[in-house]
Structure 1
Amino acid sequence: MGATAKQAQQFIDRAKSAVLNDPMPGLFASVAIAQAALESGYGLSGLSLKYQNYFGIKASSGWKGQTSVMKTDEYENGKKVTIKSGFRVYPSLQDSIADRNNFLKVNTRYTKGGVFAAKTPEDQAKALQSSGYATDPNYAAKIIAIINQYNLKETDQKVAVIIAEKAKKKV
């Protein structure tokens, strides 16, 4: 069972607020919000409800925080399979977003894959997919559809203003 329209909108609004609190240059807010919505089922997945992990970020051996083992769907050789995997645990949506941004920054495959060089949210979603963020062959298309459905590019414009104002204060 998926989210109702009201639940989906409430999650989108919550994610917008969280992203606007700590925007990261080089990453489109619209992509982060759509990605969180997609990965967490609009905040209704077990991983997001219990462990505040809204991006499906797995816990590698270098992760020093809490973890939880959960079932997840992956695509192997074009077929959807369910596996168990360890995931990172966070105290809040804000922490999940901050770690997602850091995760993309410190894993060079995303820089090499063009995530930070993308000029549009659509290009960034495609770069995330081609860099191996998710195994779903329709991952970028799903993110783009959510961006368009909820008019999330407006949030990108707000973030651009916030980042510009922060840059002025540093001068």
Structure 2
Amino acid sequence: MASRKDFIDLVAPIAVKLRLEGSPIFPSVRISQALLETGGKINAWNNLVGYKVGNGVLTPYWRGDRVSARTWEFINGQNVTNVIGDFRAYASIEDGFRDQDLLFQATRYAAVRSAGSPQAQTTALQQSGYATDPAYTSKLNAIIVTEGLTFFDEEVIRMLEKLQEQIAALNERVQSLEEQTALTVIPAWAKPGIDAAVKAGLIDTPEKGSYDFYRLITVLHRKGII
């Protein structure tokens, strides 16, 4: 039987990946929601967030498959058990999360998208009507704390910072290579072509060129193009 740790180990990389790709949902919130909705068990239909069929409009991630399952709802101040709900079924867990992100593009979830912290986001989820449970926010927050899920939010930040460092290092490397390939003195064999190109008004900085640049000018000159 899979443990909660196994569940988190499976879901967390997907939640982090989607956040890095621009998902508005904090990984800690996504994981806690999946834990709360499923009890930490992966269902066969890969819907870990209790997303019901709703209006039935197909999306790139949901092609109409559905499963009827027992659930409970908080109705008129009472917990009503053994309610049959129709839930969306997905080919993968990631498809389920991506479909949920499409749902969160609706106007009613504007506060969910703009939330600046996991706690603000869990509050926005309840206030937007995502779940009928009046304790939905407090349950999500408790799971986040108990399981230490903000680690995955911080992991996103670390990965972004590392990526920015890699990009900066790559840019420095490219600049260094460009400087290394640039020649500070026009080669004697290229001077006739460069003089012709300057006279024709084709270039105005002949002293700033790479080996390949001077070679091209020379070839064009010898062919009578310049």
TM-score, scaled to structure 1: 0.83
Give 1:66's aligned residue: 65
Give 1:123's aligned residue: 120
Q: Deviations over 1:18-77 (max 9, x none)?
A: 21232234321110010011001112xxxx422111000000223332111222100001
Q: SS state of the match for residue 56, structure 1?
A: coil
Equivalent residue for 1:156, pick from 127, 134, 153: 153
Alpha carbons 1:25, 1:163 under 8 Å: kept? no
Q: Deviations over 1:68-93 (max 9, x none)?
A: 12221000011011321211001121
Aligned counterparts of 2:153 and 2:95: Cα–Cα separation in 1: 20
Identity %: 34
1:77 and 2:76 correspond: yes
Consecutive unaligned residues of structure 2, counting only runs of 5 or more, are 59-63, 168-226
Give 2:207's aligned residue: none
1:108 and 2:111 correspond: no
| Cα separation, partners in 2 of 1:73 and 1:162, compared to 1, 3 Å | same
Consecutive unaligned residues of structure 1, counting only runs of 5 or more, are none
Give 1:32's aligned residue: 30
Quote how far apart the aligned CAs of 1:162 are. 4.2
Tell me which structure has the larger Cα radius of gyration: 2
Q: What code does the residue aligned with 2:6 have?
A: Q
Give 1:88's aligned residue: 88
* Higher relative contact order (Cα pairs below 8 Å, separated by 6+ residues): 1
Aligned counterparts of 1:61 and 1:100: Cα–Cα separation in 2: 14
Give 1:16's aligned residue: 12
Give 2:206's aligned residue: none
Q: What code does the residue aligned with 2:25 have?
A: L
TM-score, scaled to structure 2: 0.64
Aligned counterparts of 1:80 and 1:25: Cα–Cα separation in 2: 32
